[in-house]
Structure 1
Amino acid sequence: MNLCGSICALATPFQADGQLDLDAFARLIQGQLAGGTQGLVVAGSTGEAHALSDDELALVVAKAIAVVAGRVPLLVGTGSANTAKTIAATRRARDLGADAALIVTPYYVRPTQQGLLQHYRAIADAVELPIVLYNVPGRTGCDLVPATVAQLAAHPRIVAIKEAVADAQRMQDLLALRSVSFQVLSGDDGSACRALLAGADGVISVANNLVPAQFRALCDAARGGHRDRAETLDAQLQPLFDALGLESNPIPLKWGLSTQGLGSAHPRLPLVELSVSHRERLRELLSTLQDAAV
């Protein structure tokens, strides 16, 4: 599997009554494809996977598969705090037609590195589906360190890592593990440009939901070694990256998407709508970026 460039961690749009908005979801995906996005993640943390029932997950995956029609890789988030449950979810994603599973480290339970090693190996052994490791210790309380990643990268079904730690040395340590069968993806918008210029294969991005064409341009410039252009584009997008971190993801994102007619601004509880004090800042940023793209 070739995972590279601009990959979007899709939000899951809801209607005003909290039900799935599959029409908005389809339009979100169509906008991503039109903007040049090179891969999509359904039901990751940005997609509020924790708040989706099994039936809802099946609906969003089916809709995504129908809209994408094989044009870009489609990853489905299947991680949980329990190995057996993660295996079952990964099998379900395979049966639904996913191209790969994005599997976050077990949250809350804080396993050791040996536990992480056994967790991912058990999943990879049990399910015939490419697996992308996902490390985001700020959300999980668990850090998958490069030495453990090095051991996991030898498994034929473990094909990549999404690394959300924004430390330059961490990225360099992971880039040393790149091969034809193991790719390294940034999971942090704010440091994505630096990671790509250093040699990362791509970025799984939150901001991409709102500015797919601009984010693709950034990725192309950085991956092509055009440092000046990449850093200029990155500087233009940094205020948006910052604004999307004002409250827990995907709260600001869903408010921003609502201004584009892509679902309600309300995530599902316990997440709530973006605070009033932040809305004008995000609105102005999106307006400025839209004007710059014209």
Structure 2
Amino acid sequence: MFKGSYVALVTPMLADGTVDVTSLKRLVEFHINNGTHGIVAVGTTGESATLPFQEHIDVVKLIVKLVDKKVPVIAGSGANSTSEAIFLSEQMAGLGVDGYLSVVPYYNKPQQAGMVAHFNAIADATDIPLILYNVPGRTVADMMPETVAELSKHKNIVGIKDATGDLLRLEETKDLVSDDFLFFSGDDETGCNFMCRGGDGIISVTANVTPKIMSDMCEAALRGDVEASQQINKQVIELHRALFIEPNPVMPKWALYKMGIIENAFLRLPMVLPELSSKKAIEETLSALNLI
């Protein structure tokens, strides 16, 4: 099913806040040509929180068309309202997506039982595979291993993106689920070690900027070559860190702009362009990698 380096794709914007379709086309081509194993369309890195429903759906539709079945496309369909998450999932069901990524409801701080009810309701709504997304640094609420295990019993819930950065969490959860349940890291800095300990892939911010390095690193880990995977990862350790100097996706957009992949680095409010010191830091890292 889903394995390897999946890019948490940014959504290029124009100065007026609308989606930059020309840059999006170039960005998708960049990933197809550089070995990205799959694309996550309009996840949280894609600024899903600030795209109205129809625009969210339209961008996913466009990405599916641009990808043209060359790699799997997973659509972000999360919301802190269960009914909204179901609506998004149902609306995108006919677009040709290969899976959904749905985040733990943010702000609400649901109980573990609430998370079970929330995700089961979404998974009941369509037959498309659903990947859970646990990112307590953003949502506050943390999905516990026992909750993941309960949800894994649903035939449509096939895996989890774990952005806790806690490698022990991976081991604890793997012990509670079936062998075919998928584990994606959502934390680039620990992603290599995550895969070398049995993870199936990374849903990566860094892959926006260095898709070939990230796909090579994942492929080495998947074939069991831990040393090669770690050596490849060493190339981008500083990039992993630099991309999170400011809240995501501020820095990956600036990096892609400086690399000439997208026309500009505009974000949708309340996100704004990075501080001058942050620009200098990421540009130094990109220069060291010969990307600019």
Q: Scaled by the length of structure 1, what TM-score is found?
A: 0.95
Q: Which residue of the partner structure matches residue 236 of structure 1?
A: 235
C-alpha displacement at 1:291, in angstroms?
6.1
C-alpha displacement at 1:178, in angstroms?
5.5
Q: Which residue of the partner structure matches residue 282 of structure 1?
A: 282
The 2-side partners of 1:174 and 1:26 are apart by 38
Is the CA contact 1:251–1:273 (under 8 Å) kept in the aligned structure 2?
yes
Q: Which residue of the partner structure matches residue 99 of structure 2?
A: 100
Q: Which residue of the partner structure matches residue 45 of structure 2?
A: 46
C-alpha displacement at 1:235, in angstroms?
1.8
Determine whether 1:198 maps to 2:174. no
Q: Which secondary structure does the structure 1 equivalent of 2:289 belong to?
A: helix
Q: Which secondary structure does the structure 2 equivalent of 1:12 belong to?
A: coil
The 2-side partners of 1:263 and 1:15 are apart by 8
C-alpha displacement at 1:126, in angstroms?
2.1
Q: Which runs of 5+ in 2 are unaligned?
A: none
The 2-side partners of 1:20 and 1:217 are apart by 30
2:146 is aligned with what amino acid?
A
Change (3 A) 1:59 1:291: closer
RMSD: 1.5
Q: Which secondary structure does the structure 2 equivalent of 1:290 belong to?
A: coil
Which segment is superposed worse, 39-48 or 125-134? 125-134
The 2-side partners of 1:31 and 1:115 are apart by 40
Is the CA contact 1:94–1:100 (under 8 Å) kept in the aligned structure 2?
no
The 1-side partners of 2:16 and 2:88 are apart by 27
Change (3 A) 1:178 1:199: farther
Determine whether 1:80 maps to 2:79. yes
Which segment is superposed worse, 261-270 or 239-248? 261-270
Q: Which residue of the partner structure matches residue 269 of structure 1?
A: 269
Q: Which residue of the partner structure matches residue 114 of structure 1?
A: 113
Q: Which residue of the partner structure matches residue 22 of structure 2?
A: 23
Is the CA contact 1:73–1:99 (under 8 Å) kept in the aligned structure 2?
yes
How many residues are paired up? 291
Q: Which secondary structure does the structure 1 equivalent of 2:159 belong to?
A: strand
Give the % identical residues. Answer: 38
C-alpha displacement at 1:63, in angstroms?
1.7
The 2-side partners of 1:154 and 1:73 are apart by 23
The 1-side partners of 2:149 and 2:263 are apart by 40
C-alpha displacement at 1:181, in angstroms?
4.1
Is the CA contact 1:124–1:131 (under 8 Å) kept in the aligned structure 2?
yes
Q: Which residue of the partner structure matches residue 162 of structure 1?
A: 161
Is the CA contact 1:13–1:20 (under 8 Å) kept in the aligned structure 2?
yes
Is the CA contact 1:163–1:184 (under 8 Å) kept in the aligned structure 2?
yes
The 2-side partners of 1:112 and 1:46 are apart by 25
The 1-side partners of 2:259 and 2:50 are apart by 23
C-alpha displacement at 1:37, in angstroms?
0.7
Change (3 A) 1:259 1:121: same
1:268 is aligned with what amino acid?
R
1:51 is aligned with what amino acid?
T
C-alpha displacement at 1:54, in angstroms?
2.5
C-alpha displacement at 1:18, in angstroms?
2.0
C-alpha displacement at 1:222, in angstroms?
1.9
Q: Which residue of the partner structure matches residue 145 of structure 1?
A: 144
Q: Which runs of 5+ in 1 are unaligned?
A: none
